[in-house]
Structure 1
């Protein structure tokens, strides 16, 4: 609930952003407090409940991230961000085993989602200057009129409304027709007012693909359907920045082949990655740091001083943790959840919940092709993604108590 509302709701975008490389003491204290409370609850429930999270892939991933952080260009910043990210992952990893039954989990998800959606509507109604993009915002004048609710940007509000929409559809399918239907409709209406293009276009595709994946018996066809589509999507987006033939195809298919000027960022990020392909620049240790300025000493690319990410999660992982970090992350956030869903979908008692987690997971890995989502500490979208990943992990290992 805290992470879905975020620790900095209703941000004032008319003010210049602060130094993102410096730590926020209040946030760090809250992280530590939530972590301690979660670990205390886990001890009370029993450590064995979280045993599925002791998978070697998780341990190897965090170990390599630690190596890249220490060897990076800003080890202090990278290590601090990695510790906070690991705390959030631990907190979210325990959440799915706290409800005693599936009905309790449904109540928790539905109530939390409804509260956040209602807060977003109230924000638009009561404080539109802080919940709707304004023309006087230094870098967001072109988004004037788009709703963002309690979030700092419509690129967060849009994906979160789709997550809530999926939860509403799940609840309606579990017999909570009125509650789930209202949540679905409220989320859909707010989504349309955010003006987000990619998430809105992806939503019906995710609903269709998830249904096909649920009914596909062939494991090979299942993997091809999900992984093949993801690879093609990344090829048509970030691949268009470096492969001329792909760029030509994209130019014929869409009106903006630069993906809102993302191709320039992708080219810059790829060039920087090739300079440090093994360890990268350190976990979350490139953007908004001196490393960016050092990469452009002549100041020819003025936009780099304000860029906060690569607008592609996979490219950002390669840039900051190197090629090994990218491979390990793909194992953890793409391949393992996919295999977990393949096992969980075979059990009729798990199928509805597995489908919900699978939809959130599938949506996030596709959104990640045009936005940086992975390992963003307390990002609401990242936390939703983690809930789906860990939820599928538990479903693959444990039976469901109805």
Structure 2
């Protein structure tokens, strides 16, 4: 390659890196802060099932970011990695559309599938944006610090919208608990756990000072959210991830067996009386913060339509359920979701939908982790993805987050899934994006 061609390649590489950095930060802030932070929870609109969170500006920005990510992905040398595994995802999303078309709310399902596919595409391209592992860590560190600054700004300067108030209509019992710019304390708690994992990665891959600051700020915020489950899960996942990394034969029991047992003790205690009594005897709240009523109601509904469910996004918060009056005698009809991702997917798409989902989010990652080469198996990057993956599959037993298009946790979880997939066959370049003879290094 002559000097002029080499200089042109360098300019092109620099321009591509700048575009990638801009897209990376924009997507991160869109999911982690949103365009409508500090939502007022005291208005009656929060009780109206027809009042969606979407708006015209949000839709426009979503489409623009999606278009930018798709264009970047299609010209990238690794465009073949976008939206994989394609056959499984095609079957999964086609099934979601089928069960939605035969449901009482087909348009809700179709819109939900379109949004979910867009977010999946974004996540599959996201790790193609950095030019190196250090670049990835630096962008993550800066973006997380911006997010934490916004969260703490709300606590200090706008506490009425950043701290739960007794005047809130849905859950006044949360008064005094921090939520920052997030819509709920549980969302804030989950975000802070992930932020702490990212802080540990940043500390080892980019800046020790920035990483320690992220971990400290995240932990302080996490404790003040009152999220007992997430607070307990932070050290627990670090320990479990350590065992998962070091003891290979425990990987399947930890992931598959752990998720199974977690759901058995949580959801099972609500529908199996002896199990509930046993858990109560251990001094554990067998209602799991009043989720038991919701799970019993959901199991009853699932028993009526176990094959197809009620349609994607077409069960919770539908008008006929919320306004069912005396026809359904439980407060659970007003629940925003089932507080269990596995149960919710079965409820919306039937047991076939649940099986396809488990293959994608549980069994394929296990296969990809088993295929990671020894020199990449114990890297900080792999460790980050494994921690996020383990935390999410366990946290999903108490929260609904699968296929939530605007959820930062779902988006970050999918990025971790694609990260594990890339680690099983390649890795982010650990050096600047320049190779010998003027060629570019890619993930």
TM-score, length basis structure 2: 0.86
Alpha-carbon contact 1:6-1:379 (below 8 Å) kept: no
| Aligned partner of 1:70 among 60, 85, 101 | 101
State the aligned residue count: 399
Cα 1:122–1:294, aligned 2, differ >3 Å: closer, same or farther?
closer
- The offset of 1:293, in angstroms, is 4.9
Report the counterpart of residue 264 of structure 2 in structure 1: 235
Question: 1:272·1:295 contact (CA, 8 Å) conserved in 2?
Answer: no
Which deviations, in whole Å up to 9, do the C-alpha atoms of 1:204-231 show, x marking residues without a partner?
A: 110001011111133xx32112221111
RMSD over aligned Cα atoms: 1.9
Contact residue 96 and residue 109 of structure 2 kept, 8 A: no
Q: How far does the alpha carbon of each residue in 1:71-93 deviate from its partner, in whole angstroms, 9 at most, with x for none?
A: 22210111111111211111122
Tell me the equivalent position of 1:275: 304
- What is the aligned partner in structure 2 of residue 261 from structure 1? 290
1:367 aligned onto 2:398:
no
CA contact (8 A) 1:14 1:136 kept: yes
Relative distance call for 1:146 and 1:316 in structure 2 (3 A) is same
Q: 1:379 aligns with which of 404, 407, 413?
A: 407
Match of 2:179 in 1: 148
Aligned-pair CA distance for 1:291: 4.7
Aligned to 2:318: 289
Cα deviation for residue 351 of structure 1 reads 2.2
Max Rg structure: 2
Q: 1:295 and 1:137, CA in 2 relative to 1: closer, same or farther beyond 3 A?
A: closer
SS in 1 for 2:292: helix
For 1:3-402, list aligned pairs within 5 A: 3-16=31-44, 17=46, 18-20=48-50, 24-46=55-77, 48-51=79-82, 53-174=84-205, 176-218=207-249, 221-293=250-322, 298-304=327-333, 306-344=334-372, 346-348=374-376, 351-402=379-430
1:8 CA displacement: 2.4
Residues 344, 350 of structure 1: 8 Å contact kept: no
Contact 1:168 1:180 (8 Å CA) reproduced: yes
SS of corresponding position for 1:348:
helix
Q: CA 1:293 to 1:127, structure 2 compared with 1: closer, same or farther past 3 Å? A: closer
The separation in 2 between residues aligned to 1:342 and 1:126, in whole angstroms, is 48
- SS of the counterpart of 1:280? coil
CA distance in 2, matches of 1:59, 1:396: 22
Q: Which runs of 5+ in 1 are unaligned?
A: none
